[in-house]
Amino acid sequence: MKGKTMAVVGAQWGDEGKGKIVDALAADADIIARYGGGANAGHTIWVDGKKTVLHLLPSSILRPGKTNVVGPYVVVDPEVLVAELAIARKIGATVILDPRCQVVTPLHRQIDVLRELTNGTGVIGTTGKGIGPAYEDLAARRGPKLRDLLSTRRMFRALRDRHFLEERMLLIRTYAAQGKDETDPIRWRLFAENGRDWPELELSGWGVQHAETIAPHLKDAAGLIDAADGKTLLFEGAQGIMLGMVAGTQPYVTASLTGPGAIGETLGVHRLDRVIGVAKAYVTRVGGGPFPTETPEKGDWLRERGAEYGATTGRPRRCGWLDLVALRYACRMGGITELVITKLDVLRGLAEIPLCRAYHRGDGAPCVPEGFDAEGLDGFQPIYETLPGWSEDISGCRSWDDLPENVRTFLNLVSLQLGVPVTGASVGPEREQIAWR
Ligand code: GDP
Ligand code: IMO
Ligand code: MG
């Protein structure tokens, strides 16, 4: 019999504060598994004034005594992995890596970057970490897996499997040829820097230098979870439902499924007792794509107050007001059973807080989009209602009753509008700065 099962998923466009919430909930979990995405993610945890940003390993590794798992749907960049394994080793955290994880190579990163650079108008604004191309190879049923890093022989085979190297190099040369006509020095620098990695890959020695570090951690993740009788399981999502490959704002999305459905298919846990959606009290997004509640007027204020710069790329995040239309959709698509609202402290000092309860298409009449892809959302604008703000410093609140009345009114309205209980209010970046209901 399984013990309790929980999942933490992003309910907006990523960076909602999932890392912080996973770290908090991990106190009561035995096994914590990251189930999707790759080093495009940046999950921030603050403990006693010390900041840690993790890209691949679960945000629970800072708590000794937990079993931290990377599931087979995660695409793994070995360089990032080795750096994070060193953090885990220092803390004494147990780390299990599924041997079937797709490996992100320098070729993937290079294709990702060059594609965006030569794309003209269709730029997605990816993180440049090679995520899209790596998932393409997962779907093409080729390319190296984590277990292939164990020997040069395995790597040699994996790189030649189903024309992997041949096709990937061809693509790079095609994009690079387009780049050649460019006078843009940044383009050329990127090209030259990344080009360095080719010969090493062609000779197949790449990545194998990490074999000894990685080998002791390799173990079938679904099997380990299946054998975990009575244990409390916590699954950590990356990105957010609105960035999901299918449910999100296509084509401005990442290249993987981001919702908890992926947990069942890749790790064998189909029944989740709690699906905890994490959402900011406002909205941010990095990269291109529709964002109905983006606010040019207050965007800079929100960015500075909330320190809204990407944890992975350092890019300034676009900022806007809480969008209940998108959040309602995300709750439905993600099967979210409860919400934790983060960064409430950031809104302090606003006389009024705008809240988007419906969309219109220019005439002020509320209407519902036919889909949340870029085409479906085209032309939709927010209809705002405003709620009274608060001037109190809430960063010290640790229980629901500590929260000022206006904060509770804000959270109750969100809950009522969505039909989903709000069970947590985060009031600062530190581990303890949260009020549970
Ligand atoms: P994730 O990708 O969902 O884990 O989120 P990120 O780490 O990319 O971005 C969230 C940012 O907000 C990080 O810098 C966190 O330290 C910070 N953060 C999380 N919760 C709160 C909060 O309640 N208040 C404030 N001020 N910062 C928070
Ligand atoms: P966490 O887990 C915010 C965005 C990128 C871009 C789009 C596609 O920290 O919330 P990709 O590199 O995945 O091909 O980029 O997705 N993106 C994220 N935005 N947080 C993330 O992760 C993201 N991961 C990808 O900015 O718009
Ligand atoms: Mg992030």
Q: Which of 211, 244, 259 is the last residue of a domain?
A: 211
Q: What's the gap in Å between 429 CA and the centre of ligand 1?
A: 6
Whether residues 224 and 180 fall in one domain: no
**Nearest-atom index, ligand 1, CA of 342:** 23
- Cβ 238 under 6 angstroms from ligand 2: yes
Q: How far is the CA of 360 from the centre of ligand 1 (A)?
A: 31
Distance CA(342)–CA(353), nearest Å, equals 15
Q: Ligand 2 within 6 A of 129 CB?
A: yes
Q: Considering its fold, how many domains does the chain have in total? A: 2
The answer on 205 and 156 residing in a single domain is yes
What range does the domain containing 257 cover?
5-97+219-436
Distance (angstroms) between ligand 1 centre and the Cα of 109 equals 26
Q: Which pair of tokens denotes residue 165? A: 């190297």
Reply yes or no on whether 15 is catalytic: yes
pLDDT for 185 beyond 60: no
Q: Which tens digits make up the pLDDT trace of 127-136?
A: 999 999 999 9
pLDDT at 38 over 70: yes
Distance in angstroms (rounded) separating the CA atoms of residues 176 and 187: 9
Mean pLDDT score, 395-405: 98
Taking CA atoms only, the protein residue closest to ligand 1 atom 10 is: 17
- At residue 192, the pLDDT reads 57
Q: Which pLDDT value is given to residue 1?
A: 54
Segment 131-157 mean pLDDT? 96
pLDDT at 120: 74
DSSP 278-345: EEESEEEE-SSS--TTB-TTTHHHHHHHHT-B-TTT-PBPEEEEEEHHHHHHHHHHTT--EEEEE-GG
- Name the β-bridge partners of 96: 69
Q: Are residues 269 and 418 in the same domain?
A: yes
Q: Mean pLDDT, the chain, as a whole number?
A: 94
| Mean predicted confidence (pLDDT) in 272-291 | 97
In this structure, the answer to whether residues 340 and 268 fall within a common structural domain is: yes
The model's pLDDT over 204-246, given as tens digits with 9 standing for 90+, comes to 788 899 999 999 999 999 999 999 999 999 999 999 999 999 9
Ligand closest to 37 (CA) is 2
341 vs 203 pLDDT, higher one: 341
User: What distance in angstroms lies between residue 212's CA and the mean position of ligand 1's atoms?
Assistant: 34
Proximal ligand: closest to the CA of 16: 1
Residue 430 and residue 315 share a domain: yes
User: 68 and 121 share a domain?
Assistant: no
The residue among 211, 243, 258 that closes a domain is 211
Q: Which of 211, 232, 262 is the last residue of a domain?
A: 211
Mutate to test the pocket of ligand 2, among 9, 35, 40 (most ligand atoms within 8 A of CB): 40
**Same domain membership, residue 425 and residue 311:** yes
Could you tell me the pTM of the whole model? 0.96
Which residue's structure tokens are 């001037």? 391
193 and 233, same domain (yes or no): no
The verdict on 76 and 39 lying in the same domain is yes
The answer for 268, left when phi > 0, alpha when psi is -120 to 50, beta otherwise, is left
258, 313: one domain: yes
Q: For residue 311, what is the domain's CATH number?
A: 3.90.170.10
Look at ligand 2, atom 11, and give the residue with the nearest C-alpha.
126
Are 93 and 128 in the same domain?
no
**Are 260 and 298 spatial neighbours (Cβ–Cβ below 8 Å)?**
no
